[in-house]
Amino acid sequence: MFFWKKENKKNNNKKEEWFYESLPGTNLMITDYFTDGLLIFDKDNKIILLNPKAEEFFEVKEENVLGESILELGRFSRFYPLVSLLGGGIKEVFRRELQIDEGFILEVTSVGILKDGARVAILVILHDISRDKLTQKMKTDFVTVAAHQLRTPTSAIKWSLQVLLEEDLGKLNKEQKKVLEKTYETNEKVIHLVNDLLNVAEIEEGKYLSKMVLFNIEELVQEIIKDLKEQITEKKISLILEKPEEQLPQIMLDVEKMKIAIKNILDNAIKYTLSKGKVLVSLKRESEKNIIIQIQDTGVGIPFEEQDKIFTKFFRGSNIKKIDTEGTGLGLYIAKNIIEAHKGSIWFESEEGRGTTFYITLPIKERFGEYLTGEFY
C-alpha cells in the first residue's frame, strides 16, 4: 500500500482524513496523479474527494464542491449526465459510457464500499474514452461517408446504364447487352451494399432506433408481403399468412427499421426457395409478454457447419452464392440488431435441402426508457 499522507490544506470539516502509509521521501497524493478521474462520496452521498483529473473533466475545483450532495452537483452542466446516470442514491454501475460533452465521453464505474453490511463510501471512477470513441466513430464515419458519397455515382451509373440498355443511343449486340445487364445488376448491388453499410454504421454508433410508435405488426407484415409480391409471383411461390382471429395487441416499434428486419428475412425465404416452393408466415401470441413471428420456407436451407456464422457481418452461406450472387451478407446481422434493439429475439432451425424456419419474438410491454437510450449494445 502506498498512498501518501495528504497534507490537508483544505480546511473543510466535512472532508474525511485519509491516512495512508507515507512513501519515504515524498508527500504526494497518488490520486493527484491518476490518469482517471476519481470521485468519492461518503455514506450520505456527499462528495469528499475530487481528484485533479476529475476537476479537469468537470471543470470544477474540488474545494468548491466538497461536502455537497450528488444532486447538488447536478447544477453543473458537465456533472449533470453523471448525476442522471447514478441518481441521488448513487447506484453501482460497471463501465458505462457517458457523454459529457461534444466529443467528450467517459466510461463510468462506481463501486460501494461496505463495512458491516452498510455502505460507508462510494467510489466513482471515470475513464476518458473520447479518443477511443472518436477513433471508432471515425471508422464508422468512413463507412457512413463512403456510403453517402457513393450514392450519387451509383445513381448516375444506374441511369446511364438504363439509357444504354434501352438502346436509345444505339443498338447493342447480344454480348454487349449481357454484360451491360451484369453491370446494372452489380451496380444495384453497390446500392444495396451502401444502404446496408449505412445501417450497420448506425448500429455501431449505438443510436439505432429512432421513432418508436405503437403499431400493428400484422399490418407491417402485410406491407412487406405486398412489397415482395413481384418476386413471389415470378417464382410461383405459394405464400401463406397465418394470423389469429383476435387482433394482436399493438406493440412499440420503430416501424421503418422493423420493416427492414422482417423484410430481410422474408426476402431470404423467398430468394432461397426454389420455384413453386412454399413460404409460411405466421403471427401468434406466444405468451402474456410476447408475440412470435414465424417465417418458414421450403428452400435450400443452411448447411449445418455454417449455422453459427449466419448472423455475422458479410457472411453468406456457401450454397446460396449461386442463387443470388449479389447478396451483401449484412441482412441478417442488421435484422438481428434491429430485433434485439426492440428487446426481442431471433433464432432459426434449418436443414440443408429441406428448408429454414426463422422465429422472431417481440415483447408486447412497452419500455420507453430502454428503447430511447439505445443502450442495448
Partner 1 sequence: MDLRTDKENIEQNTRQSIEQAKKEKKENSLFEHLENLAEYTKNLWHFLPLALCYLDSNGFILEVNQTFEKTFSWKLSEIFNKPLNFFMSEKEALKVITQALQEKEIINEEMNFLTKKGEKVPVSVYSRARKNNKGNVVGLFLALTDIRETKKFQDKLKQKIKEKTKELEEKVIELEKTKVVLLNILEDVEEARKKVEEEKNKTQAIITNLTDGLMFFDQEKKLSLINRQAEEFFEIKNQQLIGQTLLELSKNFKFKLLRELIGEEIDNVFRKELKIKENLILEVTAIPLTTKKEKTGNLVILHDVTREKLIEKMKTEFVALSAHQLRTPLSTIKWILRMLLDEELGKINDQQKEFLNDGYQSNERMISLINDLLNVTRIEEGRYVYNLTPTDIIGTIQSVINSHQEEIKGKKLKVIFNKPKSKTFKVRVDAEKIRMVIDNIIDNAIKYSLLNGEILISLKYYKDKLKFSVKDNGIGIPQFQKERVFTKFFRGINAVKRETDGTGLGLFIAKNIIEAHKGSIWFESEEGKGTTFYFTLPLK
Partner 2 sequence: MAKKVLIIEDDKFLRKVLVRKISAEGYQIVEATDGEKGLKSVEEEKPDLVLLDLVLPEMNGFEVLAKIKKNPNHMISKIPVIVLSNLGEEKDIKKGLELGADDYLIKAYFTPGEILKKIENVLKK
* 10-39: contacts with partner 1 (CB under 8 A): 18-20, 23-28, 30-31, 33-36, 38
Of 10, 84, 87, 163, which one interacts with partner 1 (CB under 8 A)? 163
CA distance 7 to 26: 11
Q: How far is the CB of 146 from partner 2 (least distance, A)?
A: 13
60-89 residues in contact with partner 1 (CB under 8 A) are none
- Work out what residue 318 binds among partner 2, partner 1, none; the CB cut-off runs from 5 to 8 Å by kind: partner 2
Q: From residue 189, how far is each of 85, 98, 155, 169, 321 by CA, in Å?
A: 43, 37, 12, 25, 13
| Partner that binds at residue 126, options partner 1, partner 2, none, CB closer than 5 to 8 Å by kind | none
> Do 339 and 346 touch, CB atoms closer than 8 A?
yes
Give 148 or 236: the residue with its C-beta nearer to partner 1. 148
C-beta pairs of 29-32 under 8 Å, 24+ apart in sequence: 29/3, 29/4, 30/2, 30/3, 30/4, 31/3
Whats the size of the chain, residue-wise? 377
Give whichever of 277 and 327 is closer to partner 2, judged by the CB atom.
327
State the CB neighbour count (10 A cutoff) for residue 347: 12
Name the pairing type of β-strands 290-297 and 355-363: antiparallel
91 binds partner 2 (CB under 8 A): no
Q: How far apart are CA 60 and CA 162, in angstroms?
A: 63
Q: Which helix (H) or strand (E) holds 189?
A: helix 174-205
In the numeric block, which cell numbers belong to residue 350? 434449418
Name the residue nearer to partner 1 (CB basis): 80 or 315: 315
Q: Which does residue 172 touch among partner 1, partner 2, none (CB within 5 to 8 A, set by kind)?
A: partner 1
Residue 182 found at the interface with partner 2 (CB under 8 A): yes
> How many residues make contact with partner 1 (CB under 8 A)?
75
Q: Is 287 in the site for partner 2 (CB under 8 A)?
A: no
Stretch 164-193 residues interacting with partner 1 (CB under 8 A): 164, 169-170, 172-173, 175-176, 179-180, 182-183, 186-187, 189-190, 193
Cα–Cα–Cα angle for 334, 339, 341, rounded to 5 degrees: 95
Question: Which residue, 169 or 240, has its beta carbon nearer to partner 1?
Answer: 169
Indicate whether 337 belongs to the interface with partner 1 (CB under 8 A).
no
Q: Please identify, using beta-carbon distances, which residue of 192 and 284 lies nearer to partner 1.
A: 192
Does residue 318 touch partner 2 according to CB under 8 A? yes
Q: Identify residue 265 by its one-letter amino acid code.
A: I
Kindly write down the DSSP assignment for every residue of 253-302, as one continuous string: E-HHHHHHHHHHHHHHHHHTS-TT-EEEEEEEE-SSSEEEEEEEE-S---
Q: Which of 56, 63, 101, 132 forms a contact with partner 1 (CB under 8 A)?
A: 132
Identify which of residues 143 and 248 has a Cβ nearer to partner 1 in the complex: 143
Find the binding residues for partner 2 in span 234-273 (CB under 8 A). Answer: none
CB of 173 vs partner 2, minimal distance in Å: 15
Q: Which residues bind partner 2 (CB under 8 A)?
A: 182, 186, 318, 325
